[in-house]
Structure 1
Amino acid sequence: MPDLVAPVAPHYVPAPRTQENLDYAELPIIDLAKATTPEERLALSVQVRDAMSNQGFFYVINHGYTPEQTKRVFDIADVPFTQVREAEKRSFVAKMEEEGSFQGYKLRQYWVISFDGGVRDQIEHYNVNKDITKREHPEALRAFFPEISAFARHNHENILHALLRLLALGLELPEDTLVKHHGFDAVGESYVRFMKYYPRSQEDEAKTHRVWLKGHTDFGIMTILYSQPVAALQILTKEGDWKWVKHIENALVINAGDALEFVSGGYYHATIHRVVQPPPDQQGYTRLGVFYFCMADEDMSLAPLLQSPVLQRVGVTKTFESGKIPTMSEWRSARTIAFGRSATKATENGVKEQEIINGVAAKFFD
């Protein structure tokens, strides 16, 4: 049988790494090559437990994709932005407000970054459900379907499932406790995201204090981000300081989302993070991102896993105040509809909140 020839994608050349002396967060590095046996997973689960209960962020190495494969993914990631005409993009816009789904394009200037200054975002992204057949896609992307689908499955089954086993062990639960609620073939909204940030005017930078995407939590179980060299991502530490996330070649950046915080009763933290203008030596470059946003199965309840011996010892600090506990589908849909579109109200400490569902508010930082 002849070898299959991969379709040609223009090579994406990333920006050079910054030489600025930035205040980087100290995040643990989790080596998935050390998770092959039950004994190794138990030992590694302690590192993951501590990372998720303290920082809410960590790096992953030896995740199964070589540097060459990762570069190929970034080449494909640029296709929906450079190889699709604007008119065609508008034909594939996601139904965010109508259906609470990100499948398709989120075009630039959809989100409000500063209500006071009237500044809208300069972020464009294209989202592909793990079931790539759920909707139509632009013609330029169709040749890459086999690679995108394989990429989604790899992230879901080889990375997400591996980390869910470690997170379950960290709660002293059976390894498959969370995995069984995250089936690749189950109905769900886990998706690949290709995302591009474009430089903004100095006027907009001044109005937003250089914030490109205000501080927020993600709303799924976890987010897998493929590290790239443009410095812009920052996390909010427990001490209230914004720290930069450093680029590590061919590493993943992992963070907890709301859903994981809910099912862990607050033991694992969905950390506030934001995107800001890059340092001076990287300004003027676009910033291309590759993500896998991990959602639980649509019908999974976001109730705390009270059978966890850990939660029985330390207690539950995060849950819904009253009424029915939402499913993953209900929480995801509510947050997708409201994100970046609805006005927020300031609290006593200056944090802005936006109530989403059953008394739980999403917090935003400018």
Structure 2
Amino acid sequence: MTTPEIPSYTHAPTTKADLDYADLAVIDLAKAGTAEGRAGLAKQVTEAMAVHGFFYVINHGYTPEQTKRIFDIANVPFEGVSEDEKKEYAGTMKKSGSYQGYKLRQYWHIDNGVADQLEHYNINRDTSKRPHPQALQPLLPEIKAFSKHNHSNVLNPILRLMAIGLELPEETFIDMHGYDSVGETYVRFMKYYPRTEEEEQKTKNVWLKGHTDFGTITILYSQPVAALQILAKDNTWKWVKHIDNAIVVNAGDAMEFLSGGFYPATIHRVVQPPEDQHKYARLGAFYFVMTDDDVKLSPLVQSPVLQRIGIKERFESDKTPTMEQWRKGRTAAYGKSELTKKGTVEEEVINGVLVKHYN
């Protein structure tokens, strides 16, 4: 198909800083075409989730040129739309519990009176669900194709591997994630902007507090600005290294609930990049995944693995929320609710579950 001409986005050079990187597993989806290959990959995923909660995916079906085009598109909502038009398409997170549209800068409180310098634009996999800025409208077919690619060629193979890891039928999780079902799975384009030295000092260089994602799976296209860190088992923060044309994957709250704690939601944060990348913005392309809205986030007790090792219950049985209830609670509260401070941890209770933010 003929694609509209848009400005080319140039990434920052990869940092030369000597950073303490996490040793993340690399999952090669080219091996997922056979039962034997999937069994081997499932073991890798299970181990990766137990050790770090993050892993890379390669051979996911997008060429470097296709990935480059997605980052060109990802920059359009920020550089191709006026500030006034952005406000017209701002999301109503606190009111609706939905991220659809813009999350404008300075919406969340980070620390010591400093608000975020992060902007994102969220597009439901059903791109017709709401109107979009004029500059994005010609690009919607490509964004739709990007959404379908992530769902069919990245998410579904990963969900199969996770089901195998729990000794469940391969389609168990896929059946909860219907592409055409009612839900909030969405593409997110996100841009962090450099901050002032005063803001960095007041927040101890933290751009986004340590947190868990609230969906099942997060798919992040690797980019070279080093800023993402994960909280390791030894309670230290490890950097996530950039790999060209790779995807970074982690589990969120909903997957932890469904798996009875077997696939834990991983704590991660975003901090100021190393010195040789201070002047660069950080552009991201994501696919944030949730089950269908009506799925109850109850542990899959039929799993032989969970029957052997036990289940970590997070809700009383009669108070288990649906995906819709959980995402709305987390979305409305994030960065806007009053938190209880306990040392470097800040806490809030959502749907009866203690949610922690690591500062």
**TM above 0.5, one fold?**
yes
Q: How much does 1:322 deviate? A: 6.0
Q: Distance in 2 between matches of 1:279 and 1:323?
A: 47
Q: Distance in 2 between matches of 1:318 and 1:12?
A: 45
- Give the corresponding residue for 1:38: 35
Q: 1:249 aligns with which of 244, 251, 257?
A: 244
Alignment partner of 1:6 is 2:3 = yes
Q: 1:263 aligns with which of 258, 263, 267?
A: 258
Matches within 5 A, 1:110-149: 110-114=107-111, 117-149=112-144
Q: 1:89 aligns with which of 86, 94, 98?
A: 86
- Give the corresponding residue for 1:360: 353
Alignment partner of 1:173 is 2:173 = no
Q: 1:307 aligns with which of 296, 302, 308?
A: 302
- Give the corresponding residue for 2:67: 70
Q: 2:106 aligns with which of 109, 112, 115?
A: 109
Alignment partner of 1:22 is 2:19 = yes
Q: Distance in 2 between matches of 1:288 and 1:321?
A: 40
Q: How much does 1:362 deviate? A: 1.3
- Give the corresponding residue for 2:274: 279
Are 1:217 and 1:272, in contact at CA under 8 Å, matched by a contact in 2?
Answer: yes
Alignment partner of 1:228 is 2:223 = yes
Q: Distance in 2 between matches of 1:272 and 1:104?
A: 25
Q: Which runs of 4+ in 1 moved over 3 A?
A: none
Q: Distance in 2 between matches of 1:322 and 1:76?
A: 44
Q: 2:207 aligns with which of 206, 209, 212?
A: 212
- Give the corresponding residue for 1:294: 289
- Give the corresponding residue for 2:323: 328
- Give the corresponding residue for 1:317: 312
SS state of the match for residue 143, structure 1?
helix
Are 1:261 and 1:318, in contact at CA under 8 Å, matched by a contact in 2?
Answer: no
Q: Distance in 2 between matches of 1:322 and 1:263?
A: 13
Q: Distance in 2 between matches of 1:265 and 1:125?
A: 31
Q: Distance in 2 between matches of 1:27 and 1:326?
A: 32
SS state of the match for residue 43, structure 1?
helix
Q: 1:158 aligns with which of 138, 153, 158?
A: 153
Q: Distance in 2 between matches of 1:131 and 1:326?
A: 24
Structure 2 unaligned segments of length 5 or more: list them: none
Which amino acid in 2 is paired with 1:315?
Answer: G
Q: Distance in 1 between matches of 2:281 and 2:357?
A: 24
Q: Distance in 2 between matches of 1:8 and 1:318?
A: 51
Which amino acid in 2 is paired with 1:72?
Answer: R
SS state of the match for residue 128, structure 2?
helix
Which amino acid in 1 is paired with 2:353?
Answer: V
SS state of the match for residue 161, structure 1?
helix
Q: How much does 1:53 deviate? A: 2.4
Q: Distance in 1 between matches of 2:137 and 2:69?
A: 16
TM-score after normalising by structure 1: 0.97
Which amino acid in 2 is paired with 1:332?
Answer: R
SS state of the match for residue 255, structure 2?
helix
Which amino acid in 1 is paired with 2:290?
Answer: M
TM-score after normalising by structure 2: 0.99
SS state of the match for residue 124, structure 1?
strand
Identity %: 62
Structure 1 unaligned segments of length 5 or more: list them: none
Are 1:107 and 1:123, in contact at CA under 8 Å, matched by a contact in 2?
Answer: yes
Q: Distance in 2 between matches of 1:152 and 1:55?
A: 26
Are 1:321 and 1:360, in contact at CA under 8 Å, matched by a contact in 2?
Answer: no
- Give the corresponding residue for 1:338: 333
Q: 2:345 aligns with which of 336, 351, 360?
A: 351
Q: Distance in 1 between matches of 2:123 and 2:303?
A: 34
SS state of the match for residue 194, structure 1?
strand
Which amino acid in 2 is paired with 1:270?
Answer: A
The alignment covers a number of residue pairs equal to: 359
